[in-house]
Amino acid sequence: MTLAAATDLASATNEHLASISNTLIYSSMAVYTLAFFAYIAEWLFGSRSKVARTAAALTARPTTAAAPAVTVKQAGGTAVLERPKVVVRSASGARDVPDGPGAHGGDAQGDLYGRIAVSLTALAFLVELAGVASRAASVQRAPWGNMYEFNITFSTVAVGVYLALLALKKNVRWLGLFLITTVLLDLGLAVTVLYTASDQLVPALHSYWLYIHVSTAIFCGAVFYVGAVATLLYLFKDAYESKLQAGGKPGSFATSVLERLPASASLDKFAYRVNAAVFPLWTFTIIAGAIWAGDAWGRYWNWDPKETWSFITWVAYACYLHARATAGWKGRKAAYLALLAFGCWLFNYYGVNIFVSGKHSYAGV
Res. 63: pLDDT tops 60: no
Strand residue runs (E) in the chain = 70-74, 77-81, 88-89, 97-98
Q: Is 247 helix (H, G, I), strand (E, B) or coil?
A: coil
The backbone torsions φ and ψ at residue 250, rounded to the nearest 5 degrees and listed phi first, read: -65, 160
143-199 per-position pLDDT tens digit: 887 888 889 999 999 999 999 999 998 889 999 999 999 999 999 999 998 888 776
What percent of the chain is predicted at pLDDT more than 70? Answer: 78
pLDDT reported for residue 115: 94
pLDDT tier for residue 304 given thresholds of 50, 70 and 90: confident
Q: Say how many Å lie between the first and final Cα of the chain, rounded.
A: 37
Mean pLDDT of 49-70: 46
What is the spatial distance between Cα 331 and Cα 26, in angstroms, rounded to a whole number?
40
List the single range of 67-71, 207-211, 272-276 with lowest mean pLDDT.
67-71
Is a pLDDT exceeding 60 seen at residue 73? no
| DSSP β-ladder status, 88-89 and 97-98 | antiparallel
Mean pLDDT, rounded, for 58-80: 48
% of the chain with per-residue pLDDT over 90: 44
**What pLDDT sits at residue 297?**
74
pLDDT at 59: 45
Question: What value does the mean pLDDT of the chain take?
Answer: 81
Residue 218 burial by CB count (10 A; 0-12/13-18/19+): exposed, middle or buried? buried
Angle made by CA atoms 39, 44, 47, in degrees to the nearest 5: 125
Q: Among 75-79, 108-112, 205-209, which stretch is predicted with the lowest mean pLDDT? A: 75-79
Task: Say whether pLDDT at 313 is over 50.
Answer: yes
| Per-residue model confidence (pLDDT) at position 40 | 94
Our CA angle for 342, 183, 169, nearest 5°, is 80
CB neighbours of 129 closer than 8 A, spacing ≥ 6? 156, 160
Alpha carbon 190 to its chain centroid, in Å, reads 17
Residue 92 has pLDDT above 50, yes or no: no
* Confidence band, pLDDT 50/70/90 cuts, at residue 340: very high
Distance between CA atoms of 37 and 263, rounded to whole angstroms? Answer: 25
What's the confidence (pLDDT) of residue 84?
A: 46
